[in-house]
Chain A
Amino acid sequence: MIEYGTNVVAGAVPGKGDQETAGVPVYDTVSGAAAAEDADASVLFVPPAFAADAIFEALDADLELAVAITEGIPTQDMAKVNKRLGETDTRLLGPNCPGIITPGEAKLGILPGNIFADGNVGLVSRSGTLTYQVVDNLTERGLGQSTAIGIGGDPIIGTSFVDALEAFEADTETDAVVMCGEIGGEDEEQAARFIGEHMDTPVAGFIAGRTAPPGKRMGHAGAIVSGSGTGTAQSKIDALNDAGVPVGDTPEEVADHVERFL
């Protein structure tokens, strides 16, 4: 992250206060680090058993943004985090995500900086490696990115597609958006409604999991709660098409759509 140009001002590791790593001072607490070094964002690389506690600590430190990379946080922990999140002004990205990058400026997370190029295409995705794939297709065509956001693949996440799309719509440096979804849940359907009603910036979509056999990943519980047959790739593609969003059959086709927009 430091190599990429991110201004990393402090680390926080309990018991490691008053030390230094890679030229960066380390503090025992997140609030201590944030106060002493005037930090406004944090990235969490904390094992699942302690990750919810680490997110609460980031929320308590009143940071603007917390990015949780950790995969495998118990869902009931995330429900509690989600509840607290609604009562604070901090934006949480993830968990189970690769982070966020503004090419040429900064990144928070583990995205490989070398595949990105500076430009005006915003990208939001639930999957890490699929993000890289689509970025690769865009960069190959000379379609640089304003910001790429990995929102994470867990059932309960801090920043939804709608939140990310809202931020792109407000961003003057973003002229087109790519949204990569996948089967399960109904975040993509909600995003489609948001695009139809609130967005002028053109959006191209990609949905992974068309060939996934039903029942393998789609939870029984989700089907009961929604009771409306959402969650399949087809339902998401239909919802996006209805909102005027073209959905590529391949990552190449997604880049084709973006090229037409610009």
Chain B
Amino acid sequence: MKLHEHQAKTLFADAGIPVPESRLATTVDEVLDAVDEIGYPAAIKAQVHVGGRGKAGGIEIATDRESAERYAESILGMDLKGYAVETVLVEAGVDFADELYVGVTMDRGAGEPVLMVSTEGGVDIESVAAETPDAIAREHVDPAFGLHPYQARKVVYEAGVDADVALDVASILSTLYDLYEENDASEIEVNPVMITRDRRVVAADAVMNIDADALFRQPELAELGEASYENDLERKAGEYGFDYVRLSGNVGIIGNGAGLVMTTLDLVDHYGGEPANFLDIGGGAKAERVTQALDVVFSDPNVDSVVFNIFGGITRGDEVATGINEALDGLEELPKPVVVRLAGTNAAEGMEILNTDLLAVERTLEAAVQRAVRDAAEVTQ
């Protein structure tokens, strides 16, 4: 779960990390009130869950009241990579001499958190990682013991941070690790940490993501969570609680288990079709879930045919078939052709009771996918 920059910075400030003075604003007047208090230059920053806000025009530096008004008007309400900007952070400009990258994340390969520091801050850190991996100093942390303070100093010195600010940066890094642990973060990045001309250290940006699996014990953060959907279909699927990703093709896909659903997408592609979506219905498939899944996929105007593939472990095929039949109850015809394939526990029983007046049935995954691809091709002809 992503936090907004201003939410992360509130956590930073409460923990004692220096951040620029700032105000939140949702209207042009509020932006002007904010700059009147903060002074110039002031950054006006869109608060949306999108990377690369600056390049996309979501961050501008106002140097006077007239430019503040102009930028407030252009940013508030703008469409930033599909997200409407409703809130901006108005922040005091920092007169900086240097920019650093500082981050804490989970190194899944090592199974341990890792601290990262680079003097190449202020730029796209992924390009730095890809092109000059040595420019990022790393230090793994024993997750059971926690961070030893020396480790923060070590990685800061190793990165080549200027000696006069190194201890201040190390102190910020230690605090970031505490925040990472206390808040069940999956990732915290500050890019850049700015070194001002008078040699102070300021967290000028903040990226903080929380482990969604840990929200049960982070109730305050869970409330900050704001679903970030790229389109109405993803919103609808998210509200139903499905794992769903929309793609650009015309063969709709419903299945159970991430690996098998991905495989079904790959097979649609392999047999010459184009997958319209990834939808994992999860364990069990009661009538309500089936109805909801079909609702999502049928709502996609790009979808011309649907393949419904369930391999039961604990999910029983006859229960799934009953769920599908109940979902179709009362329908004269389907808006789009659907081919069903059931396998695993009680699959044969399930296949027998499926409503074949409305549905096509196939025994193997390959046959089901090929049929759905054919159905879609016929519609588009």
Residues of A within 8 A of B (CB): 48-49, 72-80, 82-84, 98, 110-112, 114-115, 125-133, 136, 153, 155-156, 180, 182-183, 185-187, 206, 208-213, 216, 219-229, 249-252
What is the chain B residue whose CB lies nearest that of A99?
B313
* A residues in contact with B313, CB < 8 Å: 98, 110-112, 128-129, 132
Residues of B within 8 A of A (CB): 51, 103, 105-109, 111-114, 116, 125-126, 129-130, 133, 136, 138, 142-144, 181, 184, 186-187, 211, 213-214, 216-217, 245, 247, 255-260, 262-263, 265-270, 275, 278, 311-314, 343-345, 365-366
Q: Are B129 and A223 in contact (CB under 8 A)?
A: yes
* B residues in contact with A153, CB < 8 Å: 258-259
* B residues in contact with A221, CB < 8 Å: 105-106, 186-187
Partner of B184, one of A72, A76, A185, A249: A76
- Chain B interface, DSSP helix/strand/loop, else mixed: mixed
Q: Are A224 and B105 in contact (CB under 8 A)?
A: yes
Given A130-B263, A223-B126, also A74-B247 (CB < 8 A): no
10 contacts between A and B (CB under 8 A): A74-B213, A83-B111, A110-B313, A127-B260, A129-B259, A136-B344, A182-B258, A183-B262, A211-B262, A219-B186
| Min C-beta distance of A84 to chain B, whole Å | 7
Partner of B247, one of A110, A114, A208, A211: A211
Other A-B pairs, 16, CB within 8 Å; known A80-B143, A224-B116:
A76-B113, A76-B181, A76-B214, A78-B111, A79-B111, A83-B112, A83-B144, A110-B313, A110-B314, A127-B260, A136-B344, A155-B108, A208-B259, A211-B266, A223-B130, A226-B129
Given A75-B211, A129-B259, A180-B259, also A115-B126 (CB < 8 A): no
Bound complex: CA A113 to CA B106 (Å) = 36
| Min C-beta distance of B198 to chain A, whole Å | 31
* A residues in contact with B366, CB < 8 Å: 250-252
Q: Are A229 and B111 in contact (CB under 8 A)?
A: no
| Min C-beta distance of A110 to chain B, whole Å | 5
* A residues in contact with B268, CB < 8 Å: 211
Q: Are B143 and A49 in contact (CB under 8 A)?
A: no
Q: Are B343 and A209 in contact (CB under 8 A)?
A: no
